Amino acid sequence: MASTLTARKETLGTSQQVNSKHVLGPAFAGRQRNPWLLEVQGWMPSDIEAISPMVEHLMALVETWRCVEGDEFAVELALREALSNAVIHGNRRDPNKLVEIRCRCERGKCVCLVVKDQGKGFDPNAVRDPLRPEGLQAEHGRGIHLMKVMMDEVSYTCSGTEVHLRKGPARHAKEEPSMNSISANHHPEIR
Give the residue among 27, 142, 44, 61 at the shortest CA–CA distance from 97: 44
How far is the C-alpha of 135 from the C-alpha of 146, rounded, in Å? 14
Decide: helix, strand or coil at residue 172. Answer: coil
pLDDT tens profile 33-76? 999 999 999 999 999 999 999 999 999 999 999 999 999 999 99
Q: What is the CATH number of the domain that holds 153?
A: 3.30.565.10
Specify if 101 maps to a domain.
Answer: yes
Tell me what pLDDT residue 55 has: 97
Number of separate domains in the chain: 1
Tell me what pLDDT residue 141 has: 65
Specify if 150 maps to a domain.
Answer: yes
Task: Find the domain containing 114 and state its range.
Answer: 28-171
More confidently predicted of 135 and 10: 135
pLDDT higher than 80, residue 17: no
Specify if 13 maps to a domain.
Answer: no
Specify if 182 maps to a domain.
Answer: no
Distances (CA, A) of 95 to 62, 111, 120, 145, 153: 28, 29, 16, 27, 30
Specify if 181 maps to a domain.
Answer: no
Q: What is the pTM of this model?
A: 0.76
How far is the C-alpha of 63 from the C-alpha of 79, rounded, in Å? 14
Decide: 160 and 122 in contact? Cβ < 8 Å. yes
Specify if 55 maps to a domain.
Answer: yes
More confidently predicted of 103 and 28: 103
Helix (H) or strand (E) holding 75: helix 72-85
Specify if 5 maps to a domain.
Answer: no
Tell me what pLDDT residue 127 has: 81
